[in-house]
Amino acid sequence: MVSVTCPTTPFDGQKPGTSGLRKAVKVFEQPRYLENFVQSIFDCVDGLAGATLVIGGDGRYHNRTAVQTILRMAAANGIGRAVVGRGGILSTPAASCVIRKRGAVGGVILSASHNPGGPDGDFGIKFNAANGGPAPESMTDAFFARSKVIAEYRTVEAADLDLDTLGETALGGMAVEVIDPVADYAALMESLFDMAAIRGLFASGFRMVFDAMHAVTGPYATEILERRLGAPAGTVINGTPLEDFGGHHPDPNLAHAEELVERLFGPDAPDFGAASDGDGDRNMILGRNVFVSPSDSLAVLAANATHVPAFKGGLAGVARSMPTSRAVDRVAAALGISCYETPTGWKFFGTLLDAGRINLCGEESFGTGADHVREKDGLWAVLMWLNVLAARGLSVAELMAEHWGTYGRTYYGRHDYEAIPQEAADALIAELRGKLPGLAGTDLGGRTVAAADEFAYTDPVDGSRSDRQGLRVGFEDGSRIVYRLSGTGTSGATLRVYFERYEPVGGEHGLDAPVALKPLADLAAELAGIERHTGRTKPDVAT
């Protein structure tokens, strides 16, 4: 088997966003494009020689081709063992689990998460470090710097490997081990939750629907929910992973999980509904005629954590991304534990988790997780909800009413304006940034501005600093508006606008969230001049 060094030249724009490098499939299909970025990773990661590397992805179009390319390059770069999910598949949280269990130097995860798939869709790649979490900014900055000067990459000349048969083969001097992508993850879940209590819940006649959205969690949910926990066959819908996600958008929200929402808000609705996204790290939680916002989900799980075996000793601390509502802050205050506010991006939770400062965290973009891995974890969140419901003997609606009655209700919403021309998005943010210093003490829409700033974060563990992480406008009544450009899109810019309104204990808790938030949403659009800058009169997605 021949190892070869291939000349190359840099591509513009190989800068990882909040979750790796994401581009249209057609961009990744260009000769040398994937190779350049993979070699940039290998050139910057220490300790590769003889090490174990985990490789897998969400099964979207181009996944199998990319896995074969990365395997050949790994062999040429001195990796000792490559651990690959069967079929090239590993959910993102399962990849984190395997990295940690195997003591790997890290893992290459192939996914564009909740972005559309198929030949005309998106593709993505990211590196997770030895702790199982997304590479920190210091590493991704190094990858980008290397990609701008790269002149060659290394590979071996070899035929494609069989990725569908469990077992071990050799590729040059590297062992390639194809593993069951579900087994290690399912075993980890069984160690965290009261599986007997959840089995009893299903045996009592409790009904749920889990929508895998034709994405990676189908096999995981079928194995755990139906086979191990006894949920009836058919509990998992859209459970077969497809390269194009069945032509749908694999984003678990009210706009894209239409079939699930119809069932939970329709006649003879089940007790519980949930969905996960393309790579399995996001979740949406529903009860009968109830949508649980991700911010509320994090708060409810924090308040009920001790009902779950993994947290029976209590929580060390919690963390949330800055745009996530402050509902969990109130729970943390009541529990007497720390609550950290971080930038958006799961990597910012990693140092806090590794240092033992927190063991539960979440972000408003349908992500929740804990210290069992270093990624957000959609199916884990579903199992934690099931464990809490089994322990408490309450419906989702009853649990939410109890929570709001104890802590007050934070109405929360997000508007996404997608594929905005980058220049227009940058101009909007620059203009709004210029307004912030003069807003404190002024009246906007009948509310007095308490503070307005641009969020910056200094990591309390490693001292690293991240600037320009979102614009915040807070009001004296506890309401808040946040503006942020997302780093997960592949076309133009996505403007995310978040708003929250707090109703204290004894306040008005029964409103529909869009009705409660409309004045803030209107104010947010007016303050930023969204229509003037973008021509948009309404968001593409409202959640």
The residues annotated with a catalytic role in the active site are: 113
Measured CA distances, 384 to 186, 198, 204, 297, 462 (Å): 14, 10, 18, 10, 30
Neighbours of 34 (CB within 10 A): 23
Beta pairing partners, 83: 54, 177
Report residue 303 as tokens: 């308040």
Q: What are 260's strand-pairing partners?
A: none
Q: What residues have CB less than 8 Å from 26, skipping those under 6 apart? A: 119, 120
How many angstroms separate the Cα of 40 from the Cα of each of 74, 79, 126, 151, 201?
12, 15, 12, 10, 49
Q: Which tokens hold the place of 394? A: 């309450």
- The sign one gets for the Cα dihedral 365, 376, 187, 182 is positive
Cα 217 to its chain centre, rounded Å, is 13
What are residue 47's phi and psi, to 5 degrees? 80, 25
With CA atoms as reference, report the closest residue to 335 among 368, 380, 301, 295: 301
Helices then strands, each counted (H, E), the chain:
17, 27
Separation of alpha carbons 384 and 305, rounded Å: 9
Report the distance separating Cα 415 and Cα 422, nearest Å.
Answer: 18
CA distance 268 to 88: 39
Return the HEC string of 408-427.
CEEEEEEEEEEEECHHHHHH
Q: Which residues 6+ apart lie within 8 Å of 437 measured at CB?
A: 452
Q: Which two tokens stand for residue 38?
A: 């993979």
For residues 453 and 432, is the Cβ–Cβ distance under 8 A?
Answer: no
State in Å, rounded, how far the first CA of the chain is from the last one.
Answer: 53
